[in-house]
Amino acid sequence: MDNKLFGVLFFGFLMVLIFGINYFTQRVDLDKVSQYKKNKYLTWFWYFYGVFYLFYGLSDIFFEGDFLFGTIWVVISITILILNYKGKVFSNPSK
């Protein structure tokens, strides 16, 4: 399987996953979920997002040999991870 087909299939899988999560969360009454739990899930989402793109950038650098775009992804992911650690990625209304 070539890289373009893999990219399209992976993007399609992510979109189906996001739409599924959106459908599930629309059915759940979000007012009953505490703000602390919402913030915890949002924090873990941003950590996952940062680590995912860190690995993506490192794989671009080492396996694909694309140093420019790999470095861009690594810088973006490290920035997201640092900002998430400092609590500045999303606004936290409970503080």
- On whether both 49 and 85 belong to a single domain, the answer is yes
- On whether both 12 and 39 belong to a single domain, the answer is no
Overall domain count for the chain = 2
| Assigned domain for 26 exists | yes
Q: Which tens digits make up the pLDDT trace of 16-65?
A: 888 877 777 666 666 677 778 878 888 888 898 889 889 989 998 998 88
pTM of this prediction? 0.63
**Nearest-10 crossing angle of helices 67-86, 35-59:** 160
Q: What are the tokens at 49?
A: 């997002």
- On whether both 23 and 43 belong to a single domain, the answer is no
Q: List, in order, residues 6 or more apart from 84 with CB less than 8 Å away.
A: 43, 46, 47, 50
| Assigned domain for 71 exists | yes
- Alpha helix positions (H), the chain: 3-27, 35-59, 67-86
